[in-house]
C-alpha cells in the first residue's frame, strides 16, 4: 500500500456518516492504525461497536490542522511511526471556515492538498478528506476536485478526471496579498553573520512584545531563509518585520529571483535538496508562508498569528452573526403570515 488521497464532497450529514463509518470499519478490519480528526467525532463514533471505537485514535481537528506546514509534518510522522503497517485517516480540512475569509489562507490549504500525493507518495497511508460542500463556495469546491486524485461518490471511490495535482496551485505570484500595516516596519539586513542576525531578531522580537515562543519561531524561520539567501541566492537581502491586525509578518527578500517554486518545502524529499531543507523547517515554524517574486528577486512572507487577537476577532465575528440572526428573527412578519400562524395555533391540541 502506498499513499492514497481521496476526497468526499457531501451535502447531507447522513451521507458523510455512512462513508466515514464504513471507512473506519474497513480500516479496523485490515488492522490498520485508524485516525479520526473531524469537527464532531462523537457523532461518527456513536455508530461503531465498542471494539471499533477502541481502535480509533481521535485527534483534535484544530491540532492536526494547525498550519499547513505542520499538518504535512504531522501526517509524515504518523506514517513513519506506524509503518510499515497501514494508516487510515479520516479528516476534515478547515476549508469551510475560510471560504468567506482570507484568500491567502484558503489558497495555502489548497496548496497543501495539491502536493500531498507527491509529498507522501511512499507512505502506507490512506487519507479521506471530507468536505461539506454546503459551506464551500464554487471556487473552493472546484479546488477540492482539482487537488484530490480520487473522489468518493455514491458507488464508492472513483478516479477523478478533474485532478490537477501540483499544477493546480503551482504558479508563483509576482507579489503577496497586501496586508494592512499596523505600526512601524522594522528592517534588518541579511549579512554574512547569521549569529548577528539571530541576535538582532531576538532583540527586536522582545522589544515589540512578541511572546517568547513566537520570538524563537521567528528566529528559526528567518535564520533558515537567510542561510538560503547567503548559500544559494544573491548573498545579500533584507528582512522586514511588521504588525498586521492579527499577526506578525516577516518579509525575507533575496535580490536573486531563483526561488521560483511556491511549493518548495512542502515535500519531505525537499530535505535532500539544497534550498528545500530550510523551507521544510520554516513551514513548520510559521503559520503560513507565501513565495512570490520575479527575476528581480524572491520574496518569502512569513505569517505568525497573534492567537489572542485572532480569538478576539473571532468572538466579534460570532457576536455579529448572533446579532444578525436575532435581528432576522425579530423582524415583523407580513400580516397574512401572522394570521395563518395564529390560526394554526388555535387548531393545535
Interval 46-81: pLDDT, tens: 999 999 999 999 999 999 999 999 999 999 999 999
CA distances from 19 to 13, 91, 151, 309 (A): 10, 12, 12, 38
* Domain membership flag for residue 344: no
Assess whether 16 and 159 both reside in one domain: yes
Assess whether 150 and 242 both reside in one domain: no
Assess whether 194 and 294 both reside in one domain: yes
Query: Does 168 have pLDDT greater than 90?
Result: yes
Give me the count of residues in the chain: 349
The number of distinct structural domains making up the chain is 2
Query: Does 295 have pLDDT greater than 70?
Result: yes
Of 112, 135, 169, which residue sits at a domain end? 169
Nearest to 287 by CA among 309, 305, 308, 312: 305
* Domain membership flag for residue 165: yes
The dihedral of CA 18, 20, 26, 29: what is its sign?
negative
Query: What's the CATH number where 299 sits?
Result: 3.30.565.10
Assess whether 151 and 62 both reside in one domain: yes
Assess whether 212 and 294 both reside in one domain: yes
- Say what the alpha-carbon torsion angle 9, 12, 18, 24 is, to the nearest 10 degrees: 50
Q: Over the stretch 105-156, which tens digit does the pLDDT of each residue have?
A: 999 999 999 999 999 999 999 999 999 999 999 999 999 999 999 999 888 9
* Domain membership flag for residue 125: yes
Query: What's the CATH number where 135 sits?
Result: 3.40.50.300
Nearest to 135 by CA among 91, 100, 183: 100
Assess whether 9 and 137 both reside in one domain: yes
Assess whether 153 and 261 both reside in one domain: no
Assess whether 231 and 288 both reside in one domain: yes
Q: Over the stretch 13-31, which tens digit does the pLDDT of each residue have?
A: 999 999 999 999 999 999 9
Assess whether 296 and 162 both reside in one domain: no
Of 135, 169, 203, which residue sits at a domain end? 169
Assess whether 157 and 209 both reside in one domain: no
Q: What is the mean pLDDT of the chain?
A: 87
Give the per-residue pLDDT at 337.
Answer: 45
264/279 Cα distance (integer angstroms): 7
8 Å CB contact between 53 and 43: no
Give the per-residue pLDDT at 83.
Answer: 85
161/150 Cα distance (integer angstroms): 9
Q: Percentage of the chain surpassing pLDDT 70? A: 85
Query: Does 348 have pLDDT greater than 50?
Result: no
Instruction: Identify the three-state secondary structure at position 236.
Output: coil
Average pLDDT over residues 334-344: 44
Query: Does 331 have pLDDT greater than 90?
Result: no
* Domain membership flag for residue 266: yes
Q: Over the stretch 220-270, which tens digit does the pLDDT of each residue have?
A: 999 999 999 999 899 999 999 999 999 999 999 999 888 888 998 887 655
244/228 Cα distance (integer angstroms): 26
For residue 36, the enclosing domain spans 4-169
Give the per-residue pLDDT at 29.
Answer: 97
Of 307, 322, 343, which residue sits at a domain end? 307
Q: Could you report how far apart the first and last alpha carbons of the chain are, in Å?
A: 62
Query: Does 191 have pLDDT greater than 60?
Result: yes
Assess whether 202 and 292 both reside in one domain: yes
Nearest to 62 by CA among 99, 28, 92: 92
Assess whether 155 and 84 both reside in one domain: yes
* Domain membership flag for residue 245: yes
Amino acid at each position: 500500500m502506498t499513499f492514497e488521497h481521496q476526497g468526499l464532497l457531501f451535502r447531507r450529514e447522513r451521507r458523510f456518516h455512512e462513508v466515514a463509518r464504513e471507512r473506519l470499519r474497513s480500516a479496523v478490519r485490515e488492522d490498520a492504525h485508524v485516525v479520526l480528526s473531524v469537527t464532531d467525532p462523537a457523532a461518527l463514533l456513536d455508530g461503531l461497536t465498542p471494539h471499533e471505537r477502541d481502535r480509533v485514535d481521535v485527534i483534535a481537528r484544530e491540532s492536526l490542522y494547525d498550519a499547513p506546514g505542520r499538518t504535512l509534518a504531522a501526517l509524515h510522522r504518523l506514517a513513519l511511526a506506524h509503518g510499515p503497517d497501514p494508516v487510515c485517516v479520516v479528516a476534515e480540512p478547515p476549508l469551510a471556515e475560510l471560504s468567506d475569509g482570507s484568500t491567502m489562507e484558503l489558497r495555502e490549504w489548497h496548496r497543501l492538498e495539491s502536493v500531498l500525493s507527491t509529498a507522501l507518495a511512499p507512505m502506507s497511508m490512506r487519507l479521506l478528506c471530507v468536505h461539506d460542500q454546503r459551506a464551500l463556495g464554487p471556487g473552493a469546491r472546484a479546488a477540492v476536485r482539482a487537488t484530490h486524485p480520487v473522489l468518493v461518490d455514491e458507488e464508492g471511490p472513483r478516479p477523478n478526471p478533474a485532478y490537477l495535482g501540483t499544477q493546480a496551485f503551482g504558479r508563483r505570484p509576482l507579489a503577496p496579498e497586501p496586508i494592512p500595516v499596523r505600526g512601524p516596519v522594522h528592517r534588518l539586513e541579511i549579512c554574512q553573520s547569521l549569529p548577528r542576525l539571530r541576535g538582532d531578531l531576538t532583540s527586536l522580537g522582545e522589544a515589540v512584545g512578541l511572546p517568547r515562543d513566537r520570538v524563537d519561531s521567528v528566529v528559526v524561520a528567518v535564520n533558515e531563509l537567510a542561510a538560503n539567501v547567503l548559500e544559494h541566492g544573491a548573498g545579500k537581502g533584507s528582512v522586514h518585520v511588521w504588525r498586521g491586525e492579527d499577526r506578525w509578518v516577516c518579509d525575507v527578500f533575496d535580490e536573486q529571483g531563483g526561488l521560483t517554486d511556491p511549493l518548495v518545502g512542502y515535500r519531505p524529499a525537499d530535505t535532500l535538496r539544497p534550498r528545500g531543507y530550510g523551507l521544510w523547517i520554516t513551514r513548520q515554524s510559521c503559520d503560513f508562508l507565501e513565495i512570490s517574486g520575479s527575476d528581480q528577486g524572491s520574496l518569502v512572507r512569513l505569517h505568525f498569528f497573534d492567537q489572542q487577537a485572532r480569538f478576539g476577532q473571532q468572538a466579534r465575528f460570532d457576536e455579529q452573526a448572533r446579532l444578525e440572526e436575532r435581528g432576522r428573527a425579530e423582524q415583523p412578519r407580513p400580516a397574512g403570515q401572522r394570521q395563518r400562524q395564529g390560526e394554526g395555533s388555535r387548531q393545535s391540541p
